[in-house]
Structures are given as C-alpha cells and as structure tokens.
Chains A and B, each alone.
Chain A
C-alpha cells in the first residue's frame, strides 16, 4: 500500500480539527481498518463511508449539527472545578484541570445551552469526552442540574448527549452525589411531563449511565457505542473470563431492552425532532388546571 503512504504534508489543509481524529488526506477507519478519504468522512459527519463506524466527535460539533442553524445560547460556561479534595495521583488534579482547559478550550466536560431543533425550543447538555474522559464532577453535575431546572422553568424539552467514563474520581463522593442531584432534578421534569431525551455516544459507562443517561423518556444510542455500568475490564477481572463479542454495545443493549433506538448520527437530528414533536406539550397548550389532574405512577 505504498501508494497511500504519506511522505509530504497534505496540500489540502485539514478542516477544523477534532483532536482525536488523525490529520492528513487519508485516514484509517477504527472500525473496518480501511484507508478512507478524509474529506468524505468529514462530509458524513465523521462516519466511515465504508462500514458506518462513528468516529468520536466534539461536543460543539454535536450541538452545531443538531440545533437549527448550528446556533445555541450557551450558559454556565464559566463554572469551573475547584480541587476540594486536594487530590493528587501521578499528577495533581489542579494541574490536570489546567491542562484540559488548555487542550479543549472548555472549563469542564459538558456544554449546556438552549436553542431550537426544527423550531422546537430545547435545553441541551452535551458532554465532551476530551475533557478528562467526559468525567462527571461537581461542575458537570451542577450544569446538567441547572439545564434540567431551566427546562422545567421554561417548559422546554431537555436532551443530554452522554459520552463519559463515569463519575470523576478526583472529586470523590462529591462526584457520586451529582448522580442523585441530577436524578432528583429529572424527577421534577418527569412530574411536570416535560420530555427528557437521553442520547448515548461511545463510551457511556459508570455513574453517568447509572443516573441521567438511563433516565430518558426515550433513550437513543449511536451505533456501536460502548454502554454499561461496569467497564469491560472490571467485569473480566471479576468473572475471570473474556467477554463475548459485541457485549455492552448499542445493538446488544437494544436487544436486551435497555434502549429505544439505535440511530446513526446523520439521522439523529430528524429523529430527535420527530420524537419531541410527538411528546412535547408546549406551555401555551398546558390546561389552566395543569397537567397534574391525573397522578403519575
């Protein structure tokens, strides 16, 4: 395959760069190992034209591809983690935060925003895997809680796109408690009959799966995403055997009744809009007596 070898810098300047995507004119697909034309992948929103593999993409890119005109009003972007535990392993948490801020241009691992999808007003929270593995600490917990509270106050549907290794160890039990905090806010959305859509991207594990990610009225996953409570390594260590092929992938979860839909990235916006139109009761249409005349089981 010498023909494909890259000796010189590509003449074509790569478009806006997403950090874990290799640069160059040609890239190798992590799914089928085929060499594919980069431009073609970009054009398809980072999906392999040969096998449909979904490359990991950034939170901003996801927001832009889902919301009308790629426009959104971000809020909570100034919230930033402190280091309440003074946590240090090989590197101090404080220093890690500085590095990830520089690397991603974000203060923490989620973007919260409001916008519209095909004219439907929504509140969105989109996680960024590149910021410390999308881990959930106090800031992610606070921002998603605020997003849910805003959705409640304005009767806008909420959707969250998760991609996360789980709760952030460096904030200890404070991270763990965010699971309860967010879930309690989602309980209020549930009672107010405001739709909550949970979208899962590769990977979604641990405390994120075991809280808001699994609480959607409708739960949608991208194809081939790793989704689970315990990570495969922990399970293999516990049961001391290899896991079957495809275990904990989107299609496996769909088969086991844990998801509503597996939807390719290119159809996500359309699917979300259709679901929301079928579920959402706009504030103007809420009867004066409220929706609570029949109790929620």
Chain B
C-alpha cells in the first residue's frame, strides 16, 4: 500500500503550498472588489503567483511530491476519460463476483480511434471515497480490468491504463478471493495482449496493486506522481517501526518520476502545469492526451508479434546486478 490505511493519522505536510495559497487568496480578494483600477495590480500578482508556483514546485523533495501525488484535486481516471474520450461507455463487473468501484473500465473514442480504458478511481467527497474504497481494488477489480483488456484485444483496440492507487486492498475478503492470484494473473496476461498497451501513473503508483494494470509497451509518469514497491509509511513502519521516518524513506525509495526515469523503470515523464496537476487539471489532461496520441501513433506501426516482443524486452531489461566471483 502506498498510503496509510484509512483511519490512520495522516502524516502530511503541505506547508510548502502556503505562499501559493496566500497569493491566491489575495488575488481573489482584490478581484472580488470589482475595481477596474486594480486590474494591473491583479495582473502583476498573477504573474508573481506563477513564478512562486514554479519556484516552490521546482524544489519539492520526494516526501512533498508524495503529498502532491495524493492531492484530492488531481485528475482521476474518470476526469481523463471526460477530457480525452468521446462516446465513452463504462463497462461493469468481473462476471464472477461483483463490480469493483475502485477500478473503472470501458471503451470510447480517443482522437477518433476506438480504445479501451482501465484505471483506478478514487473518490473526493467522503461518501464517494468509501464507494471507491479509497482507490484500493479487490480481486474483482483486477479481474474486471483484465476482462475488458482481453475484450479490447479481441477487437484489436489499443489499451490505455491510468494508475492511481494506494495499493491493492489488504482485507480478509480480498485475501479469500485471491488478491495475489488476481494481480499475478494480470501480470502474465497483460504480457500476452496482442494490441498496444500504454500505462500512465497519474498519482500514486502503489506497489503490486498498481503494477496489476501497469504492464505496457510504454509506461509514463506524470511529473509529480510517485511509483513504489511500498509506501514511505509502510517502509518506515517495517524498517524503523516508526511512521515518522516516512519522509526519510520517501527519499530512500527513489519513487519520483525523475528517479524512475534514471533507473529505466519508466519511459517518459509527462510535465505538469505550473503548480502541479491540481492547480490546472485541464492542462494536465491535455498534456497526457498529447503524449498518448504520439505514443499510440508510434505503436500503431508495430505488428502484434512486435508489440509482444517490445513489451517483453521493456520489462526484461529492468534490474541492476553484477557478477561476484568469490
């Protein structure tokens, strides 16, 4: 799990946003006066706001980026769907047990091309958070995802996935119905899909629960998203038995987009607008759309066998080791 369990006290520090919030508030106040004489002052304040945003966001440490990746105003899968797809039809259920609301899946038209979309879905208001189980899927969510991906393969449609989860749900029911098997099976079967697969980490890439829809020909990360084998909190509690060490572990885990680009885990970083995705969701959605369109174009030239080989080699290369002769 990438986030603390629901109910755990949040270990957050968003104080880095303070200068931005103060400026925003000031601009709002001035604009609210409706005085035309203030227009130029407001304009200069907006410029300043932009500069401060860039400044603050260029200096975030990994722990702060983790907070940004979890920001509730970041675009979620259905926001990307709304901004990028036409003719969207959401498809439901795994045909075995139930419909998991922590994962959405469906078909639509992206820039004229029919595609399948699969992604984690978090909620914003409390009721929706609970309905979406905080974006933590159960086995049926992963099975629904695979069902729709295999249907897309059957009809030759490319697959776009959006990754944003604290992790797969760690509960009794999830274990009983084979959480591990559901994830494992997706890993194997995604490697066999004979259509282009593009995965984008948009927020939290929480361990196996993220990877279960993350086996693609291209794996992208939004600039302030994170992707990790374990949450900084989880790592801190295992290695230090102290959640307060989370910021330190966020650093140690190398979970930011630039880190993972360096480690050859991801292919491309998609830049976010100034002040990150939550201050300009539409700009973020557009930026993602541009990258996906280009990558789909590149992959469209590959045959099914070439797509499989490309995906195999993409993951085959990952790992760092040496030879040690005693």
Indicate, yes or no, whether A interacts with B.
Answer: yes
Q: Is A113 at the interface (CB under 8 A from chain B)?
A: no
Which of B174, B175, B188, B229 counts the most chain A CB atoms within 10 A?
B229
Q: A229-B180, A230-B170 are in contact. Are A176 and B208 (CB under 8 A)?
A: yes
- B191 interface residue (CB < 8 Å to A): yes
B192 within 8 A of A: yes
Whether, in the assembled complex, A211 has its beta carbon less than 8 Å from a beta carbon of chain B, the answer is yes
State in angstroms the CA–CA spacing of A190 and B230 once bound together: 29
The smallest beta-carbon distance between A180 and chain B, in angstroms, is: 5
Complex CA gap A247/B174 in Å reads 12
Nearest-Cβ distance from residue B72 to partner chain A, whole angstroms:
20
Residues in chain B near residue A256, CB distance under 8 A? 176-178
When distances are taken between beta carbons in the complex, the residues of chain B under 8 Å from A247 are: 172, 175
Q: CB-CB < 8 A to B265: which residues of A?
A: 173-174, 177
B316 contacts A176, CB within 8 Å? no
Residues of A within 8 A of B208 (CB): 167, 176, 179, 206-207, 210-211, 229
In the complex, A202 Cα to B78 Cα: how many Å? Answer: 41
- Interface residues in A221-237 by Cβ distance below 8 A to B read 228-230, 234-235, 237
State the CA gap A217–B187 with chains docked (Å): 15
Interface residues of B in 180-217 (CB under 8 A from A): 180-181, 183-185, 187-189, 191-192, 205, 207-208, 211-212, 214-215
Determine if A258 and B253 form an interchain contact, defined as CB atoms under 8 angstroms apart.
no
- Of A176, A229, A234, which is in contact with the most chain B CB atoms at under 10 Å from its CB? A229
Q: How far is the CB of A238 from chain B (nearest CB, A)?
A: 4
Which residues of the partner chain A approach B316 to less than 8 Å between Cβ atoms?
Answer: 145, 181, 184-185
Stretch at the interface among A54-62, A86-94, A273-281: A86-94
Within the assembled complex, what's the spacing in Å between the Cα atoms of A210 and B180? 4
Say yes or no: is A112 at the interface (Cβ < 8 Å to chain B): no
Among A16-24, A76-84, A121-129, the stretch in contact with B: A76-84
> Within residues 255 to 279 of chain A, which ones have a CB less than 8 A from any CB in chain B?
256-258
Number of residues on chain B facing chain A (CB within 8 A): 62
| B161 CB within 8 Å of chain A | no
List, in ascending order, chain A residues with CB within 8 A of B85's CB: none
Asked whether A180 lies within 8 Å of B321 as measured between CB atoms, the reply is no
Contact of B7 with A by CB under 8 A: yes
Residue on B with the closest CB to A165? B238
Q: Would you call A163 an interface residue if the criterion is a C-beta within 8 Å of the partner chain's C-beta atoms?
A: no
How distant is A179 from chain B, measured CB to nearest CB, in Å?
Answer: 6
Contact B263 A80 (CB under 8 A): no
What DSSP secondary structure best describes chain A's contact surface? helix
0/1 string, B290-326, CB within 8 A of A gives 1:
0000000000000000000001100110111111110
Asked if A71 is an interface residue, CB under 8 A from chain B, the answer is no
User: Is B229's CB under 8 angstroms from A173's CB?
Assistant: yes
- B171 located at the interface, meaning its Cβ lies under 8 Å from any Cβ of chain A in the complex: yes
A230 to B171, CA, bound (A): 8
A191 contacts the other chain (CB 8 A): yes
Are B323 and A240 interface neighbours, CB within 8 A? no
In the assembled complex, which residues on chain B have CB atoms less than 8 Å from the CB atom of A209?
180, 184
Task: Decide: A180 and B191 in contact? CB cutoff 8 A.
Answer: yes
Q: Does chain A have a CB within 8 A of B152? A: no
Identify B322's interface contact among A80, A181, A214, CB under 8 A: A80
Contact with A along B39-73 (1 / 0, CB 8 A): 00000000000000000000000000000000000
A173 touches B260 (CB 8 A): yes
| Contacting residue for B229 out of A183, A207, A230, CB 8 A | A207
Contact B321 A90 (CB under 8 A): no
B249 within 8 A of A: yes
For residue A187, which residues in chain B have a CB less than 8 angstroms away from its CB? Answer: 188-189, 191-192
Is A214's CB under 8 angstroms from B238's CB? no
**Whole-angstrom distance from the CB of B258 to the nearest CB of chain A?**
13
Which residues of chain B come closer than 8 Å to A213, judged between CB atoms?
180, 184
Which residues on the A side are within 8 Å of B37 (C-beta)?
none
Of B177, B185, B255, the residue contacting A172 (CB under 8 A) is B255
Please give the distance in Å from B24's CB to the nearest CB on chain A.
34
B residues in contact with A179, CB < 8 Å: 184, 187, 208, 211
14 contacts between A and B (CB under 8 A): A85-B253, A167-B230, A169-B238, A173-B254, A173-B263, A176-B228, A177-B319, A179-B184, A187-B188, A210-B184, A211-B187, A215-B184, A229-B170, A238-B6
Chain A residues in the interface with B (C-beta under 8 A)? 78-82, 84-85, 87-90, 107, 138-139, 141-142, 145, 167-169, 171-181, 183-188, 190-191, 206-207, 209-215, 228-230, 234-235, 237-240, 243, 247-248, 256-258
A139-B321, A176-B207, A184-B191 given; 13 more Cβ-contact pairs under 8 Å: A78-B325, A173-B229, A177-B318, A177-B319, A178-B319, A180-B211, A184-B315, A211-B183, A214-B185, A229-B174, A234-B1, A234-B5, A256-B177
